[in-house]
């Protein structure tokens, strides 16, 4: 009796080995997901350099930072310079301008913070000087009249002790006018009088940090200046120091030749203090 053949499943003979499923329609020949065809006729796309990965120098920020730093440095320099010349009621070398001096027309005031003892010829910011570094050896200022110009460096030290230094132009002030100045000064403690080379006015008066120029020895502001500033505790850095210096009075310095110590006994003749 003939055997029946078992019916085979339709299309089973045409399936690939291993039961692999046929690719969906339209997917044949495509490369990895999301990419275009990779057939032999199309070369692979070249990768360009990413703009995002290129590092750029932030010149704008660098310039702005430099400008800010320079501005800050300039501010610091200005503050330091301003404070150097500013007044301070707690510092005897930076006392504020006194009201009595402000009332005198023509009085110039400025802070003189430097006050160290230095040997030799020194440079000053006013002529005649009104303060600053000076010789350790002060000029006598016990109502002393000097016949010749004395050294700035010795005169400045007496200003530190509360003296008023009256200077005059010897070409403009003579005779009775000079006698009038001598009468004001002679024998009065904390006053000194001397001629001064090339003085721009007939007379000038100096206290520590203050100065007044006048054109006449009879100007009433001379006595006003003396009354307001002589040994004034709000003007004088060393108000308790003495004005007496007998050795300097006997043998004073000469202009441009400051004394650091007393001159030998054989030096120039001294000053007068009598009326």
Q: How many domains does the chain have?
A: 1
User: Does residue 224 lie in a domain region?
Assistant: yes
Interval 17-58: pLDDT, tens: 444 445 445 444 455 554 555 555 666 655 555 555 566 788
Say if residues 176 and 183 touch (Cβ distance below 8 Å): no
Tokens of 1: 């009796």
Stronger pLDDT, 145 or 4, i.e. the higher one: 145
Q: pTM above the 0.85 mark?
A: no
Determine the Cα–Cα distance for residues 42 and 19; give it in Å rounded to an integer: 32
Residue 16 pLDDT exceeds 80? no
Q: What is the pLDDT, as a whole number, of residue 47? A: 58
User: Does residue 93 lie in a domain region?
Assistant: no
Lowest mean pLDDT among 59-68, 83-92, 159-168: 83-92
Residue 239 burial (10 A CB sphere; 0-12, 13-18, 19+)? middle
CA distance readout (Å), 275 to 158, 188, 189, 220, 261: 21, 9, 13, 20, 28
Residue 248 pLDDT exceeds 60? yes
The predicted model gives 95-123 an average pLDDT of 97
User: Does residue 35 lie in a domain region?
Assistant: no
Q: What is the pLDDT, as a whole number, of residue 69? A: 84
Q: What is the pLDDT, as a whole number, of residue 10? A: 47
Residue 167 pLDDT exceeds 80? yes
Determine the Cα–Cα distance for residues 141 and 192; give it in Å rounded to an integer: 5
User: Does residue 217 lie in a domain region?
Assistant: yes
Q: What is the pLDDT, as a whole number, of residue 26? A: 46
User: Does residue 207 lie in a domain region?
Assistant: yes
User: Does residue 46 lie in a domain region?
Assistant: no
User: Does residue 50 lie in a domain region?
Assistant: no
Instruction: Provide the mean pLDDT of the chain.
Output: 84
User: Does residue 269 lie in a domain region?
Assistant: no
Q: 196 is in which domain, residue-wise?
A: 99-250
């Amino acid at each position: 009796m003939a055997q029946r053949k078992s019916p085979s499943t339709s299309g089973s003979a045409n399936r690939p080995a291993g039961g692999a499923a046929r690719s969906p329609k339209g997917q044949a020949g495509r490369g990895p997901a999301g990419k275009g065809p990779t057939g032999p006729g199309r070369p692979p796309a070249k990768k360009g350099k990413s703009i995002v990965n290129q590092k750029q120098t932030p010149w704008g920020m660098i310039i702005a930072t430099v400008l800010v730093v320079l501005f800050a440095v300039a501010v610091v320099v200005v503050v330091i310079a301003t404070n150097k010349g500013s007044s301070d009621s707690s510092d005897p070398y930076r006392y504020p301008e006194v009201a009595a001096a402000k009332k005198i027309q023509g009085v110039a005031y400025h802070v003189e913070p430097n006050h160290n003892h230095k040997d030799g010829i020194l440079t000053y910011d006013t002529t005649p000087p009104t303060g600053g570094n000076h010789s350790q050896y002060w000029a006598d200022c016990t109502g002393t009249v000097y016949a010749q110009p004395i050294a700035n460096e010795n005169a400045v030290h007496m200003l530190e002790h509360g003296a008023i230094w009256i200077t005059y132009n010897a070409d403009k002030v003579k005779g009775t006018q000079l006698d009038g100045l001598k009468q004001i000064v002679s024998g009065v403690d904390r006053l000194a009088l001397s001629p001064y080379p090339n003085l721009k006015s007939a007379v000038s008066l100096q206290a520590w940090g203050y100065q007044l120029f006048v054109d006449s020895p009879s100007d009433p502001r001379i006595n006003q200046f003396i009354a307001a500033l002589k040994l004034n505790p709000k003007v004088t850095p060393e108000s308790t120091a003495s004005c007496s210096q007998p050795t300097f009075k006997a043998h004073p310095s000469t202009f441009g030749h400051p004394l650091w110590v007393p001159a030998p006994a054989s030096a120039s003749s001294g000053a007068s203090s009598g009326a």
